[in-house]
Amino acid sequence: MVTKNKIYGYLGLCMKAGKLAFGTEAVIESLEKRKAKMVLMANDCSDRTQKKFQEITEKHQIPLFTIGTTEEISKAIGKDNKSVVSIKDSNIAKEIEKIINGGDTIG
């Protein structure tokens, strides 16, 4: 749970810095413009949404991770009903990937 909280903290930081795209259309646009460094998707997305983002992130060779629920992601970024976000900051994307892969479990 501590690792999830760290990830949500990074999402909030990205939001404040303007380095986050949220919602289906905005995330797709960030991928197509090659701004996205990582995509995070909620566990409770529809199967159609999950398939769509698996295909588009593979096409653009951007890492895709499934984490938390729509409610948790939405709360972290201060928006309602957002289940997909893309991170446009490479340093924060690397930190989140490190946390997800278990490289930063202390603290």
Residue 44 near residue 82, CB atoms below 8 Å = no
pTM across the whole model: 0.90
Phi and psi, residue 34, nearest 5°? 60, 35
Residue with the bigger pLDDT between 27 and 106: it is: 27
Residue 2's pLDDT is 64
Residue 107's pLDDT is 43
| Spatial CA neighbour of 85 closest among 2, 18, 6, 3 | 18
Task: Name residue, tokens 């990074």.
Answer: 10
Q: Please enumerate in sequence order all residues whose Cβ is within 8 A of that of 100, keeping only pairs 6 or more positions apart, or say none.
A: 3, 7, 65, 67
Record: fold of 2-100: 60s Ribosomal Protein L30; Chain: A; (3.30.1330)
pLDDT tens-digit readout, 2-24:
678 899 999 999 999 999 999 99
Q: How far apart are CA 9 and CA 25, in angstroms?
A: 23
